[in-house]
Every structure is written in C-alpha cells, then in structure tokens.
Structure 1
Amino acid sequence: MKFSAVLALSAAVMASAKSVRNHYPVRRESHKKGASSELQSQLPAGMAGFGVSNTQVTEVIIIWTNPGAGAPTININPPAGGAQPPAAAPPPAAPAAPAAPPAAPPAAGPQTHHVTVGGPSGLVFVPDQIKANVGDMVVFTFMSQNHTATQSAFATPCDPLPGGMNSGFMANPNNSVTPPPQVAMQVMVSDPLWFYCAQANHCGKGMTFSINPTAAKTQAMFQSMAIQQKGKGAQSPITGGAPPAANPATPAAPSSPPAAAPPAEAPPAANPAAPAAPPAAGGGVQTGTGQINGNGACVCAVTCTAGSFPAAVQGVGSFGGMAGSLPMNMMEA
C-alpha cells in the first residue's frame, strides 16, 4: 500500500472520531436553565404559578403586568386561542348613563373588562363583579394606595387559593404613578372566580371581587363572609350588618308657660222680652189715640192690611201708596 493511501485512511478515521465527539455525549446546558429561573425571579412578587392551580387546571392566565410610570410591559404568557392581548393603558372613562338602555350589541369575540382597584372610591373593586366569557380579558388598574388582586376560594374569601392568580402588591401612593400599574389576565373557565385584596385588613373590610357569580353564590355573600372571617364580624348595613346606633335624642325644649287664662266672661244678659207678636194678617182693627189741631183727643183707627181695590173708579188718576179702600164701618163714629 502506498504511503498516500495510508495517510488518507488515517485522516478519515480521525475525522469520524471528531464527529462522534461533537455529538456524544449531549452537552449539558444547565446555565441556560439558571438564566430562565433568574428571569422569572425578576417578575413582580406573587406571580409564582401564573394562574395554574396545583391540580393543573388553568382558571385564569396572567398575560402581562406593567408597573406603571411609563415602564415597559412585562409579557408573561401568550393569550390562549390566538386572542390579542389588551394594550396597557388607563381604563376609559365611564360614559354617562343613557336615558334608556340601548339594546346590547351582539358579542364580537373576546371582550376586555376594566376593573379599578382602590382609589377615590375607597377599599373596593370597581365594578365589584363582572360577567365574562371564556377567553375574555380582565385588566386590573391599581390606584392608591397599595393593593393586590389575589384569587381565593368562595368559602375562604381572604385566603389565597393555592396555585391561584396573584398580582402581587401594586403600589401607587396617592395616585402618583402615572399611568398607574396594571395587570392583565385571561378568563379560561365559565365557573365563578373569586378575588380579594391581600393588603392588611382590606379584605376584612369587604374589598372583594368576583367573576360570574351565581344566584347560589353571590358577590354579596362572598363579601359578607370576608367581613365575618377577617373583619371581626363588623359588617356594614349594606352587607347585612346592623346600622350604627342612633345619636341620643335631643331633649325637647321646655314649653313656654301657658298664657294667662282670659277673664271669665260676664254671664249673658237676660234675653230681652220678646216683642209683641204682630197682629194676625187680616182686616182686624187696632184702636189708638191722637190729637187733632189741639182741639182735644180723638179716636182713630188703622188697618194693617190693604183693602180690596174699589169696584168703582175712585182710584183712577191717583199715584203713590197702595190702591185700596177702607171699609165703611171704620169711618163711622
């Protein structure tokens, strides 16, 4: 065998050995796994689990989180079903309520629901409940002071659900973070979902939120149990508690002394004597006295009724008075 052939064969064997060395054994890349864990550790506190429960049943998926103040959005999970993630922006202002509610437009794909956490309204989620379909997005906007959106079970409103969604604390002191912090999640089930704020005693004061509550498990029931379990049972009148005790009644002002009684009225005078009854109607004659020309008394008579109209023409051409005549016997001595 020639020397050149031997050299070529040796080179081929060495090339084959190098190729095997490059593929076997498989190179360990644990440093890349460590880098991935480091990235996850940079996510806001409370994001562990990313909405997947211990039973591997996904109820909600956190899509992204944004700490606010113009910081870049941190994408956590891609939306399921090819849905487009909602943009990180302040929720639109609520429009004025129309005089008559318009007809509901037909649903057009996944909807985005905006929920404000805290802020001017106090320790509340606004709105405190929504109806969401599978695939809908929910964007939590965190206002003052420092709140969370933490998933819980219905029976234990103020305890975190193992493996459930937790936004972590989103600080916004005096609403000074502009735009405010936000967290977007996607609803993956049609079952009721329950949330609360894990800050101090906020849950015990009724700071709860629900998605798709039912008639058997309402948002009011969930809130009431939260107050009973973590708020020492001090429910507000809205959630079934007793109203605050009324202020003690102001004593009535003393009444003014009664006015002096008016002097007793004098007894009424005796009724005056009834006037004499007028003479009965008719042609009766009344006797009287009188004087004529100073020559002495005379006897005269009057009649209180008119006499009949004379049959003759004695009254023709006369005026005034009453027509009539006196009977002859009144003119006799």
Structure 2
Amino acid sequence: MKFSAIVALCAAPLALAGVLKAEVVPRKNDDSIQFVGGGGGGSKSSGKSSGSVVIQENIINEVIIIWVNNGGDATTQTVNSASAVNSAAGVAQTHTVVVGGSAGLVYTPNTINAAIGDMVIFTFMSMNHTATQSAFATPCEKLAGGMDSGFMANINNTVVPPPQMAMQVNVSTPIWFYCRQAGHCGKGMTFSINPTAAKTQAMFEQMAIAQNGTGTAAVIAGGTAAAGTATAAAASTATAAAAAAPP
C-alpha cells in the first residue's frame, strides 16, 4: 500500500505538468496565427489583412487605393473593396486624371472637386511618375501615413494600355498630391482634391516651386497649372496662410 501511494504521488505532478503543457502550447499557436494574419496574412477581403497591406502607405485613409494595374498585359490587382456611398449627392462619380505624357510635368486636370465615395483613376503616361500625398505647407514631402502610388514607369508611352491606379475619396476636406520623381515637384507637378479659397491649387503649386524649384514656373503646354511666375512673396503669403489655416 505504501509503495502504491508513493507511486501515485510521484505520478500526479507529471500528469499535471502534461495538462499545463497542453494548455500553453495551443495559446502560443493562436497568438502566432493572429500575429501573422495581422501582418499581412489571410484573405485580402478581410479588413485587417487588406489594411496591413496598404496601411503602411496609407494610414491616414483620406483616400484608399482600390486597384492597381501596371499596364500592358498586367493583371489588375485589387487592394481594397470600394465603400458603399450613402450621401445626398447620390451615385459616386469617377474622375480621370492623366499624369504626365504629352502635356508635360503636370496632372491633367491638376485639381478636382470630389465627394465622399468618388473614385479617382490616375493614368500614368510618359515618363515615370507617382501620385504621392503630401501636406499643403510642404508640397514636395511625402506625408507620413499618406497614399503613394509608387513609380509607374511608361517610357515614351510604350506601355499600352498605360498603367493605372484607382483610389476612393473618404473625406470632403482638401487632399494634396505631387510627383516625387526627382525635380518634378519643383517644377510645379502637383495635384489637389477639394482645394478651398484659403488653400488653393495655385498656392500649393507656387510653394512647390519656391521650396524645391528655381522660383519660376515651368512652361507646360496643355496643362491647367496657374500661369505666370511664382514669386517669393506669393510663396511666403501661401506659407503664412498654411500656418494660419487648419490642415
């Protein structure tokens, strides 16, 4: 009897250890699965997983990338699902913006008014441009957490059909973009959505030239950029207005 009791007492801690081990291991595996999924695993239809792909470039979510196509025979890659629109404006509109090409270093048009839910499709022409989000006061600096198309090469317009990227507008406030190809923003290659009287596209372009260019606007045929020379005084006025106005 005494020997049996001793054996039972010795076996109990071993059995308990086995139970504890069985409980700990699955919890660790669950955490690992959740961590990997949050970092980009899982289905793209999941809100978390699609965000993990895009949020690093687009944390602010004033706009969200819906799909991207590199042109030619490339397959369209869906990044996020478009949100349903429920507004007084009714059905969402689609705005087409041509980037570069025969018009020169310009977005055509260089400004639009878009409602929440509207789609903007960038068509990238020659040579190699981006659509990169910035702040109003710093036109040629990438906005932390903002949207960035990355470089969409189309040398001499040889990619047919051209590369495109679609994004959906999530706010009614102003949103600002520029091309981050070397030297392009400094020549006024900027774009805006919903500019205001206090913060205009012309002011944004002038600050881009003053801060990063030669101080004179590039001559661009066929664009809608503001005509004339961007003087230092105009840029200073725009900068002061930017400091006084809300973002």
Query: Do they superpose with TM above 0.5?
Result: yes
User: In the alignment, which residue of structure 1 is the partner of 2:80?
Assistant: 77
Cα 1:123–1:236 shift into 2, 3 Å: closer
Question: Contact (CA 8 Å) 1:223, 1:239: kept in 2 or not?
Answer: no
Q: In the alignment, which of 189, 212, 215 is matched to residue 197 of structure 2?
A: 215
Q: Which protein has the bigger helix share?
A: 2
Give 1:240 deviation, angstroms.
3.0
Question: Contact (CA 8 Å) 2:140, 2:212: kept in 1 or not?
Answer: yes
User: In the alignment, which residue of structure 2 is the partner of 1:96?
Assistant: none
User: In the alignment, which residue of structure 2 is the partner of 1:240?
Assistant: 229
Q: In the alignment, which of 66, 70, 78 is matched to residue 67 of structure 1?
A: 70
Question: What is the percent sequence identity of the aligned residues?
Answer: 55
Question: For the residues of structure 1 that align with 2:79 and 2:228, how far apart are their CA atoms?
Answer: 37
Q: In the alignment, which of 136, 139, 150 is matched to residue 118 of structure 2?
A: 136
Matched position secondary structure for 2:103: coil
User: In the alignment, which residue of structure 2 is the partner of 1:301?
Assistant: none
Question: Contact (CA 8 Å) 1:62, 1:77: kept in 2 or not?
Answer: yes
Q: In the alignment, which of 48, 51, 58 is matched to residue 51 of structure 1?
A: 58
Cα 1:241–1:27 shift into 2, 3 Å: closer
Letter in 2 for 1:117: V
1:1-333 superposed matches below 5 A = 21=22, 25-26=26-27, 28=29, 30=32, 33=36, 37=40, 49-53=56-60, 58-81=61-84, 107-235=89-217, 238-241=227-230
Deviation track 1:166-188 (CA, whole Å, cap 9, x = no partner) reads: 00000011111111111111111
Letter in 1 for 2:65: I
TM-score by length of 2: 0.69
Structure with bigger RCO (C-alpha 8 Å, 6+ apart): 2
Give 1:51 deviation, angstroms.
2.2
Question: For the residues of structure 1 that align with 2:38 and 2:75, how far apart are their CA atoms?
Answer: 20
Matched position secondary structure for 1:71: coil
Cα 1:201–1:67 shift into 2, 3 Å: same
TM-score by length of 1: 0.52
Gaps of 5+ in 1: 1-16, 84-105, 243-333
Cα 1:137–1:50 shift into 2, 3 Å: farther
Give 1:36 deviation, angstroms.
5.6
Cα 1:209–1:239 shift into 2, 3 Å: farther
Letter in 2 for 1:62: I
Question: Contact (CA 8 Å) 1:47, 1:168: kept in 2 or not?
Answer: no
Question: Contact (CA 8 Å) 2:188, 2:218: kept in 1 or not?
Answer: no
Give 1:81 deviation, angstroms.
2.5
Question: Contact (CA 8 Å) 1:138, 1:184: kept in 2 or not?
Answer: yes
Deviation track 1:11-44 (CA, whole Å, cap 9, x = no partner) reads: xxxxxx99x959973361647828964899xx9x
Give 1:235 deviation, angstroms.
3.0
Question: For the residues of structure 2 that align with 1:232 and 1:149, how far apart are their CA atoms?
Answer: 22
- The structure with more radius of gyration: 1
Give 1:76 deviation, angstroms.
1.3
Identify which range, 136-145 or 65-74, moves more after superposition.
Answer: 65-74
Question: For the residues of structure 2 that align with 1:153 and 1:35, how far apart are their CA atoms?
Answer: 29
Question: For the residues of structure 2 that align with 1:129 and 1:204, how far apart are their CA atoms?
Answer: 18
Give 1:215 deviation, angstroms.
1.2
Question: Contact (CA 8 Å) 1:47, 1:167: kept in 2 or not?
Answer: no
Count the aligned residue pairs. Answer: 195
Give 1:78 deviation, angstroms.
1.5
Question: Contact (CA 8 Å) 1:148, 1:166: kept in 2 or not?
Answer: yes
Deviation track 1:33-91 (CA, whole Å, cap 9, x = no partner) reads: 28964899xx9xx96624223xxxx21111111111121111111212369xxxxxxxx
Question: Contact (CA 8 Å) 1:64, 1:185: kept in 2 or not?
Answer: yes
Gaps of 5+ in 2: 1-17, 45-49, 220-226, 232-247
Tell me how large the CA RMSD over aligned residues is. 3.2
Cα 1:82–1:71 shift into 2, 3 Å: farther
Question: For the residues of structure 1 that align with 2:158 and 2:33, how far apart are their CA atoms?
Answer: 40
Cα 1:47–1:36 shift into 2, 3 Å: closer
